[in-house]
Amino acid sequence: MLFGAVIASALSAQVLTEGEPALVYYSPKTIVVVDFAYTVEKAEQGAYAEYAEAMLGIEDAVKENQTVCTLTGATVSTNTVADRTRPHKVSAENGIPLLLNINEKGLLVGYNAPETVAKQKHKPSSVPSKEAKPKSRPVPYPEDVLKANGEEAQAYEVAKQIFHIRETRMYLLSGEVENAPADGKAMELVLNELNKQEEALTELFTGKRSKVTKHKRIYYDHIDIHRKEGAALKGYVYPLFFSEGNGFTNAENIEADTIRVTVSPSFTPFYTDDSNNAKGKKKKIEPSEIVYNLPGQCLVEIRYKGRRLAEKEIPLAQTGMDVPLPKDMFTGSELPKIIFSEKTGNIVSISK
């Protein structure tokens, strides 16, 4: 039901007077949230990389340090806050029972329906956790390595230690070791420790390779909200910069490619209705101080290297308009139960 067409006007933001007895709530404001996902692959050269093939037969050792970042996707969502430029006050002297349900953000979520406050409590948007850095294991250098003269000699001693660990593991598994672990659990612990030592030493030749997924979340909360009747805005382009070597970076990085985030808001048109002034109609509908919001729309498009990462149309509360409900809805013997959307301020349902 479009009450704006019945009442024939939209309310402007109200001025609040200090000390005035009134309930105050705000129209909602939409914050556009873009979450980028990207991977970071790292290759770190080992200390003895040049001896990997000759001493251990490893042909694919990392020869140089390298980092490769790849942008994999983007998702668009919204957060809702109170629009402090659009306050509304409901005075105790207006004759309307003050049964407003206002949530902790200062948004009107219901009238005469207290359960709506509990219903519309949304879990806060989760912020991607930072990747935990794995703890590096100390390299178990044997004494011979420390005494070795020169890099090649050290590499040779490390290779000997690796072969010794492999030999020890083979003897344990074949049962050819005196004083072997007494039970299966103890054997498992010993083998795990040997595997870890071998891995740490082998990485001195092979190097390390890792791949993690990271997130970067951008909040767009300064979208132009100046209203103009019949206005339609061109898209705002918010450039970001991403390079394979550094991930998210700045415009000064000549190796970076541009991510184009285009936010195209549109305003809800102002409805007018002259039916109250038509011939034969004398009754004039009086607006109340309780308003709902007709949201505008917003198209968010994200492009990178000529391809579209994401595109989504969302309601944009701050480019909408506030429409007053008729005062006679709240003056009868049976008061309505009204539920408003926290995200847009629009009416969800009306019941008796």
Residues 62, 140, single domain; the answer is: yes
Q: Mean per-residue pLDDT for 312-325?
A: 91
pLDDT surpassing 80 at residue 58:
yes
293, amino acid identity: N
User: Sorting pLDDT into bands at 50, 70 and 90, what band is 175?
Assistant: confident
Look at residue 230 in the predicted model and tell me its pLDDT.
46
At which of 182, 211, 240 does a domain end?
Answer: 211
Residues 111, 192, single domain; the answer is: no
Which of 215, 202, 188 is closest to 55 using CA atoms? 202
pLDDT surpassing 50 at residue 272:
yes
User: Sorting pLDDT into bands at 50, 70 and 90, what band is 274?
Assistant: low
Lowest mean pLDDT among 46-55, 91-100, 262-271: 262-271
Instruction: Report the number of distinct structural domains present in the chain.
Output: 2
User: Sorting pLDDT into bands at 50, 70 and 90, what band is 62?
Assistant: very high
Look at residue 5 in the predicted model and tell me its pLDDT.
36
Look at residue 11 in the predicted model and tell me its pLDDT.
41
Residues 272, 182, single domain; the answer is: no
Segment 138-167, tens digit of pLDDT: 566 666 665 667 888 888 888 999 999 999
Look at residue 184 in the predicted model and tell me its pLDDT.
80
Look at residue 114 in the predicted model and tell me its pLDDT.
77
Residues 186, 262, single domain; the answer is: no
Task: Give whole-number Cα distances, 312 to 33, 34, 85, 241, in Å.
Answer: 11, 11, 26, 21
At which of 166, 192, 211 does a domain end?
Answer: 211
Look at residue 4 in the predicted model and tell me its pLDDT.
39
Q: What is the mean pLDDT of the chain?
A: 82
Look at residue 224 in the predicted model and tell me its pLDDT.
53
Residues 180, 297, single domain; the answer is: no
Residues 231, 263, single domain; the answer is: yes
What are the backbone dihedrals phi and psi of residue 258, each rounded to the nearest 5 degrees, phi first? -90, 130
CA angle, residues 131, 132, 134, in degrees to nearest 5: 130
Task: Give whole-number Cα distances, 42 to 99, 257, 309, in Å.
Answer: 59, 20, 24
Q: Mean per-residue pLDDT for 262-268?
A: 83
CA angle, residues 347, 88, 86, in degrees to nearest 5: 90
334: Cα separation from own chain's centroid: 44
Which is more confidently placed, 267 or 275?
A: 267
Q: What is the 3-state secondary structure of the chain?
A: CCHHHHHCCCECCCCCCCCCCEEEEEEEEEEEEEEEEEEEEEEECCCCHHHHHHHHCCCCCCCCCEEEEEEEEEEEEEEEEEEEEEEEEEECCCCCCCCEEECCCCEEEEECCCHHHHHCCCCCCCCCCCCCCCCCCCCCCCHHHHHCCCHHHHHHHHHHHHHHHHHHHHHHHHCCCCCCCCCHHHHHHHHHHHHHHHHHHHHHHHCEEEEEEEEEEEEECCCCCCCCCCCECCCEEEEEEEECCCEEECCCCCCCEEEEEEEEEECCCCCCCCHHHCCCCCCCCCEEEEEEEEEEEEEEEEEECCEEEEEEEEEEEEEEEEEEEEHHHHCCCCCCEEEECCCCCCEEEEEC
* Percent of the chain's residues with pLDDT above 90: 50
Tokens of 146: 């420390």
At which of 184, 211, 238 does a domain end?
Answer: 211
Look at residue 280 in the predicted model and tell me its pLDDT.
54
Lowest mean pLDDT among 7-11, 16-20, 84-88, 205-209: 7-11
Look at residue 276 in the predicted model and tell me its pLDDT.
52
Which is more confidently placed, 67 or 96?
A: 67
Look at residue 185 in the predicted model and tell me its pLDDT.
87
For residue 93, what are the domain limits?
3-39+74-130+219-351
Residues 122, 258, single domain; the answer is: yes
Residue pair 102/23 in contact by the 8 Å Cβ criterion? yes
Look at residue 148 in the predicted model and tell me its pLDDT.
65
Segment 192-230, tens digit of pLDDT: 999 999 999 999 999 999 999 999 999 998 765 444 444
Residues 62, 153, single domain; the answer is: yes
pLDDT surpassing 70 at residue 40:
yes
What is the chain's Cα-based Rg? 33
Residues 105, 52, single domain; the answer is: no
Look at residue 116 in the predicted model and tell me its pLDDT.
65
User: Sorting pLDDT into bands at 50, 70 and 90, what band is 180?
Assistant: confident
User: Sorting pLDDT into bands at 50, 70 and 90, what band is 310?
Assistant: very high
Rounded Cα gap, residues 208 and 203, in angstroms: 6
pTM: 0.75
Residues 229, 258, single domain; the answer is: yes
Task: Give me the helix-helix angle, 151-174 and 184-206, nearest 10°.
Answer: 160
Residues 85, 123, single domain; the answer is: yes
Look at residue 32 in the predicted model and tell me its pLDDT.
94
Residues 280, 328, single domain; the answer is: yes
Tell the residue number behind the tokens 């209705």, with chain if given.
273
Residue pair 77/33 in contact by the 8 Å Cβ criterion? yes
